Amino acid sequence: MLQGYLSAADIIAALQIMCWPDADREMKQHFCAAAIPEGRGQSLMKMTFPHMGTAHVGVKTILEQLGHEVVMPPRVSSETVNLGAKYSPETACFPLKITLGNFLQVLQEHPDTEAVLMVGGAGPCRLGYYFRTQQDILADLGYDDLEWVVIEPPQGNFREMLERLKGLAKGCSLLDIISALRLGWRKMVAMDELIRAAHRVRPREVRRGSTSHLLRTAASEIEAASELGAVEEVHQSMHKRMQGLIGKGESRDVVRIAMVGEIYLTLEPGANLHVEEALGHMGAEIQRTIMITDWVRDNVLLDFLPWNNRGEDKKEAAKPYLNHFVGGEGQDSVGSTALLADEVDGVVHLMPFTCMPEIVAQSVMPEVIHDFDIPVLTLVFDEHTARAGMLTRLEAFVDLLRRRRVRDRHSPAS
Ligand code: SF4
Domain boundaries along the sequence of the chain: 9-172, 183-252, 254-404
What's the CA gap between 311 and 53, in Å, rounded? 21
Q: What is the pLDDT of residues 208-225, one digit of tens each?
A: 999 999 999 999 999 999
How many Å lie between the centroid of ligand 1 and the Cα of residue 380? 13
Cβ-proximal residues to 144 (8 Å cutoff; 6+ apart), any chain: 138
**Identity at 101, one-letter amino acid code:** G
pLDDT category at 167 given cuts 50, 70, 90 is confident
- Could you tell which of 125, 267, 295 is best to mutate to test the pocket of ligand 1, judged by most ligand atoms within 8 Å of the CB? 125
User: What number is the average pLDDT over the span 139-166?
Assistant: 80
Q: For the chain, first and last CA: distance in Å?
A: 36
The rounded Å distance from CA 272 to ligand 1 centre is: 15
CA-nearest residue, atom 7 of ligand 1: 355
Separation CA 369–CA 377 (nearest Å): 10
Contact in structure between 225 and 181 (CB atoms under 8 Å): no
Best CA proximity match to 8, nearest among 169, 305, 228: 228
Task: Reply yes or no on whether the pLDDT at 115 is more than 50.
Answer: yes
Q: For residues 176 and 269, what is the distance between their CA atoms, to the nearest angstrom? A: 32
Q: Which of 134, 131, 162 lies closest to 149, judged by CA?
A: 131
Which atom of ligand 1 is found nearest the CA of 328?
1
Instruction: Specify the pTM.
Output: 0.87
pLDDT: which is higher, 40 or 76: 76
The residue length of the chain stands at: 414
Using the predicted structure, report yes or no on whether residue 40 has a pLDDT greater than 50: no
pLDDT beyond 90 at 169: no
Distance CA 236, CA 243 (A): 11
The pLDDT confidence band at residue 164, using thresholds 50, 70 and 90, is: low
Q: Whose CA is nearest to atom 1 of ligand 1?
A: 328
What is the best residue among 52, 91, 93 to mutate for testing ligand 1's pocket, by most ligand atoms within 8 Å of CB?
A: 93
Residue 37 has pLDDT above 50, yes or no: no
Distances, alpha carbon 304 to alpha carbons 15, 184, 308, 313, in Å: 11, 21, 8, 19
Do strands 255-261 and 147-151 pair parallel, antiparallel, or not at all (unpaired)?
unpaired
Q: Rounded to whole angstroms, how far apart are CA atoms 201 and 195?
A: 10
C-alpha torsion 127→129→135→140, nearest 10? -120
Cβ 48 vs Cβ 100: under 8 Å: no
- List, for residues 297-344, the tens digit of each pLDDT value: 877 766 655 556 667 899 999 999 999 999 999 999 999 999 999 999
Assign domain 254-404 one CATH number from 3.40.50.720, 3.40.1350.10, 3.30.70.20, 3.40.50.11900. 3.40.50.11900
The DSSP element (H or E) to which 377 belongs, if any, is: strand 376-381
Percentage of residues in the chain with pLDDT exceeding 70?
83
Looking at residue 43, what is its pLDDT? 65
pLDDT given for residue 305 in this prediction: 59
Q: State the Cα–Cα distance between residues 305 and 302, nearest whole angstrom.
A: 5
Q: What is the CB < 6 Å shell around ligand 1?
A: 93, 95, 125-127, 262, 327-328, 352, 355-357
Bond before 124 cis per omega within 30 degrees: yes
Separation of alpha carbons 393 and 58, rounded Å: 34
Average pLDDT, the chain: 87
The pLDDT assigned to 42 comes to 52
Q: pLDDT per residue over 363-414, tens digit each?
A: 999 999 999 999 999 999 999 999 999 999 999 999 999 999 988 877 776 5
**Stretch 88-94: mean pLDDT:** 94
How many angstroms separate the alpha carbon of residue 245 from the centre of ligand 1?
Answer: 37
Kindly report the number of other CB atoms within 10 A of residue 366's CB atom: 11
